[in-house]
């Protein structure tokens, strides 16, 4: 990849990250997500740092009926309910992994083929 193309991609990754900050989305697109209109999501993370590009974590294990975490993040937990098919489901609501700027940048760099 030539340097001009690489620079163009890097600039656009930064624009994507900026555009998908929770603080921007809740103002520009409050109708797009209930969390935007309610003004809250993942309470431990400040709005300015929370990024919504990877709303659904790419590391959530959908191959299991009860879900799970492919990277074994310690911030997840099991939610138990007898109405669920397996009696439990993996709950990542306390995890901020896919919402951190550096994680979003890593996945976008991989997607665009500009991994360092």
For residue range 80-106, what is the model confidence (pLDDT) as tens digits?
999 998 999 999 888 889 999 999 999
Higher pLDDT among residues 37 and 22, named by residue: 22
Q: Return d(Cα 41, Cα 35) in angstroms, integer.
A: 6
pLDDT of residue 11 exceeding 90, the answer is no
For residue 26 the two structure tokens come to 């809740």
Q: Among the residues of 1-116, which ranges form H helices?
A: 3-19, 22-28, 34-38, 101-112
pLDDT of residue 59 exceeding 90, the answer is yes
Q: Predicted confidence band at 43 (pLDDT cuts at 50, 70, 90)?
A: low
Q: Return d(Cα 79, Cα 100) in angstroms, integer.
A: 24
Higher pLDDT among residues 43 and 61, named by residue: 61
Q: Predicted confidence band at 5 (pLDDT cuts at 50, 70, 90)?
A: confident
- Give this prediction's pTM: 0.78
**What's residue 15's pLDDT?**
93
């Amino acid at each position: 990849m030539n340097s001009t193309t690489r620079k163009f991609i890097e600039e656009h990754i930064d624009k994507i990250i900026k555009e998908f900050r929770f603080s921007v989305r809740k103002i520009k697109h409050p109708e797009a997500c209930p969390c935007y209109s309610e003004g809250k999501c993942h309470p431990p993370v400040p709005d300015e740092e929370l990024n919504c590009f990877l709303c659904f974590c790419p590391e959530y294990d959908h191959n299991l009926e009860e879900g799970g975490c492919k990277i074994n993040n310690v911030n997840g937990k099991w939610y138990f309910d007898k109405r669920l098919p397996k009696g439990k489901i993996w709950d990542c609501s306390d995890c901020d992994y896919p919402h951190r700027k550096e994680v979003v940048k890593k996945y976008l760099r991989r997607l665009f083929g500009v991994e360092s």
